[in-house]
Amino acid sequence: MNQQEAHPPVPTSDTSLPRKVAIFGGGLAGLAAAQSLSAKGMQVDLYEARPRLGGRASSFIDQTTGEQIDNCQHVAMGCCTNFFHFCKQAGIGSHFRRLETLHFVDQQGRRSELKNGPWPAPFHLTGSFLRMRHFRWRERGQIALAMRQLMSTPTSDLCFEDWLNQQQQSDRVLRDFWHVILVSALSESLDRIPYSAARQVFVQGFLSHRDAWKVSLPTVPLHELYGETLQTHLQEQGVTLHLQSRIKELTTQGNSIKNVVMANEEQVSADAYVLATPWTAIPKLFPTVEPPPRFIQQAEQLESAPISSVHLWFNRSLSDETHAVLLGRVSQWIFNRSAIQNIENPERHYYQIVISQSRELSSWSQDEIVQHVLKEIASVWPESMMQAQLVHSRVVREHHAVFSIPPDAESDRPDQVTEYENLLLAGDWTETGWPATMEGAVRSGYLAAEKLLQVWGIPARILQPDLPRSGFINHLGLIRG
């Protein structure tokens, strides 16, 4: 087998019988593949090592409060067309709340709002931008010029921090504008973000469409979002679920997969296999294959970025606001979980603080993190914090929350098609054209399903189109590429 060139599964002429597909991994990528393949009549078995679906999108019970808490606050922007398509198909689309306004608070406590004005994209946010109280007019000019350059420059070999320095952005603009948006979207520091990923966030997420930037939040814990309703939908569509079923290794035969051996030594056979596991697990599933195929080498070069969440319960409400975006602080987002999820408990009011790309916290104790976050919250809601009492706190650290790709390796993500003719990959870490997001995960599952069906003679367009650029942009040619 030529291990340097991936090729699609071998097509066969008989398409009258449903093909059996075994999918390993019950996160969003595996779920999207299972949903789309079963909808096309395939016989799908979905194997998940945990006792629940959702993968990294998980919840657990806090023993002190008895409440379900999420490992991290998951959000989706309006530009995530495939993620919302999946949720609608699976019957869970109603479990989201869309924010029409984002609230920003700087270090001096000055508040600004991001919301649409009356103008078409890309000028729909101009009014909010001009009213941002934490930037001087000179700094707003810096941002506007760099944004215009982003729109007209499709590619650059520089990391985004170097590109911004080339655009003469001040330190405060770097910290309070570019960093605060990109660390939330990509969970990485500016020096580790490729230009292409950063440009996509701003062009596709803020400039191309009036609704692209609008953030949606789950109104239920993640275990419920990806729980009974989703499981019932998949089962009614013919998907056989195998929970608490851990994959051990894949047995190869020439340039194909012979079968899959599970942790209990059960052997699983299918016409095709989809690996939707974390990238860190991929090399371990081929212990005897030498030299390793190209897709394994690509998975091994991926790194990870941590995300930390601080969960706080107070004896009274701090604010009726659902959230706040914090500038110039360690804390980045405050989410009022009691308000978002309509939790009614007069004795406990629940807030979650998210810190993406939290490498600097690795040496901090949990108490140090909590005390630092409390001081930062006091600068946002000072009067409420003077009267509130902390009832309980908990810090959750996800050390491998998302994959991270150094800028010089951005183009080296593995395709969904592998060197083995009946094996495909799915995961946000595969080549989707998107960064490490829920949208990227669903796209990878749709792409894997689409490519598999194509070679089986079942042409299907599963991947959903992006939000259309405004006619104003197209007419004037404001965005290149």
Is the bond leading into 465 cis (omega within 30 degrees of zero)? no
Q: Are 66 and 60 in contact (CB under 8 A)?
A: no
Neighbour count for residue 61 (Cβ, 10 Å): 12
Residue 181 CA to residue 114 CA, distance in Å, equals 12
Compute, in degrees rounded to 10, the torsion defined by CA atoms 467, 469, 471, 475: -160
Determine the 3-state secondary structure of 308 from DSSP: strand
Determine the 3-state secondary structure of 85 from DSSP: helix
Q: Which residues pair with 393 in a beta bridge?
A: 312
Angle at 272 between CA 269 and CA 276, to 5 degrees: 100
Q: What is the DSSP code string of 233-299?
A: HHHHTTPEEEET--EEEEEEETTEEEEEEETTS-EE--SEEEE-S-GGGTGGG-TT-SSPPHHHHHH
Residue 103 CA to residue 134 CA, distance in Å, equals 13
pLDDT at 289: 92
Token pair of 40 as six digits: 């096309």
Q: Which of 204, 222, 200 lies closest to 213, judged by CA?
A: 204
pLDDT at 128: 96
Indicate the burial class of 211 (C-beta count within 10 angstroms; 0-12, 13-18, 19 or more): middle
Determine the 3-state secondary structure of 56 from DSSP: coil
Q: Which of 69, 45, 52, 436 lies closest to 278, judged by CA?
A: 436
Q: Are 9 and 452 in contact (CB under 8 A)?
A: yes
Token pair of 246 as six digits: 């851990």
Spatial CB neighbours of 268, under 8 Å, sequence gap ≥ 6: 22, 45, 47, 259, 260, 261, 262
Q: Are 436 and 310 in contact (CB under 8 A)?
A: no
Compute, in degrees rounded to 10, the torsion defined by CA atoms 77, 81, 85, 86: -70
Q: Are 34 and 234 in contact (CB under 8 A)?
A: yes
Residue 39 CA to residue 238 CA, distance in Å, equals 9
Token pair of 423 as six digits: 């094996």
pLDDT at 130: 93
| Boundaries of every domain in the chain | 20-56+222-301+407-455, 61-79+93-98+303-404, 115-212
Residue 471 CA to residue 477 CA, distance in Å, equals 10
The per-residue pLDDT string of the chain (481 residues; one tens digit each, 9 = 90 and over) reads: 334 445 555 444 455 567 999 999 999 999 999 999 999 999 999 999 999 999 888 888 889 988 888 888 889 999 999 999 999 999 999 999 999 999 999 999 999 999 999 999 999 999 999 999 989 999 999 999 999 999 999 999 999 999 999 999 999 999 999 999 999 999 999 999 999 999 999 999 999 999 999 999 999 999 999 999 999 999 999 999 999 999 999 999 999 999 999 999 999 999 999 999 999 999 999 998 999 999 999 999 898 999 999 999 999 999 999 999 999 999 999 999 999 999 988 899 999 999 999 999 999 999 999 999 999 999 999 999 999 999 999 999 988 888 887 666 656 899 999 999 999 999 999 999 998 899 999 999 999 999 999 989 998 999 999 999 999 999 888 999 8
pLDDT at 265: 97
Token pair of 323 as six digits: 């959230």
For domain 61-79+93-98+303-404, give its CATH number from 3.40.30.10, 3.90.660.10, 3.40.50.2000, 3.90.1200.10.
3.90.660.10
- Residues in the chain, how many? 481
Q: In terms of CATH, what superfamily is 20-56+222-301+407-455?
A: FAD/NAD(P)-binding domain (3.50.50.60)
Spatial CB neighbours of 281, under 8 Å, sequence gap ≥ 6: none
Q: Which residues pair with 217 in a beta bridge?
A: 97
Q: Are 134 and 176 in contact (CB under 8 A)?
A: yes
pLDDT at 15: 52
Q: Are 234 and 217 in contact (CB under 8 A)?
A: no
